[in-house]
Amino acid sequence: MYRLLDAVVTFHRSLPPARMKSFKAAKHALSLAEVDVKEIQSLIYTGVCREHFEPATAFAVAAGLEINPHSTIYSISNACLGALNGIIDTANRIELGQIRAKLVVSCETAREINDITIDRMLERKEMSFFAEGLATLTLEGRAPGRYC
């Protein structure tokens, strides 16, 4: 079991952080849309996952893309609705004539949560560790129209 755990740890820690995945996704989206990065007047990062509280992941992505320094750059964190909030904000700002092009980028990863869990697993190599965090789900089937 320990060799498998060590292999999982090694693989997991080789994965790139959210800011790198976001940067790659943003570059790919701009390429597919045939939009020059110079046209982007605003960038918003809408993912929940981030490596740091500050500076915002939005700024790391913007710096990587070399977004115009006069662009508005910010993050929205609203769980699963963050991306939708970013899209609505973008549509509103375009409709109001405030901007012509905005990039909404998001990347979800459980890297930080997994790092903490893996470190704890490596400290306590015993099955009781898993039992403490075990989640359960109970389902019950009932015939339509029957509530008791």
Q: Could you list the active site residues? A: 54, 80
Q: How many CA atoms lie within 13 A of 109 on its CB side?
A: 17
What residue type is assigned to position 106 of the chain?
A: S
Query: Parallel, antiparallel, or unpaired for β 42-45 and 102-105?
Result: parallel
Rounded Cα distance between 14 and 142, Å, is 46
Handedness of CA 73, 107, 24, 37 (dihedral sign): negative
Q: Are 46 and 86 in contact (CB under 8 A)?
A: yes
